Homo-oligomer: A and B are copies of this chain.
């Protein structure tokens, strides 16, 4: 899978990597059991330091998205393992400021939900091919 890092972004590189890999899993481009490049390889490919990649992998491991295997490297975990833990509260804290802003800007509930549904479906439909 191709990872594109924006060095001008105010989003830290290790966060960009983490997000893109999670999106890759959601879209089925990274299937369960598949291996990610080694921290050194990926760092070299992108042109960044291996510690930056390692930080992204550590977050993914912490979130249950990957498992570190001494032989196979970073392996995409099972969906069941990813589902562990409740994410509702974290989700609300992340969404509230975003929704408040578009609410003030006059976006209607139906428009917002339509936008959400569109993003969600973009994952589930891509996933059909990957799984």
Contacts and interface: CB of A to CB of B under 8 A. Distances in A.
A98 B95 contact: yes
A interface: dominant SS: helix
Contact of A105 (B80, B97, B99): B80
Contact of A100 (B22, B79, B115, B117): B22
Interface in A93-110: 94-107, 109
30 contacts: A19-B97, A22-B100, A23-B96, A23-B97, A25-B100, A26-B100, A26-B101, A26-B104, A79-B104, A80-B104, A81-B106, A82-B102, A82-B104, A82-B107, A83-B106, A87-B101, A88-B115, A91-B98, A92-B115, A95-B98, A95-B115, A99-B119, A99-B120, A103-B120, A103-B123, A103-B124, A109-B120, A109-B124, A112-B116, A113-B117
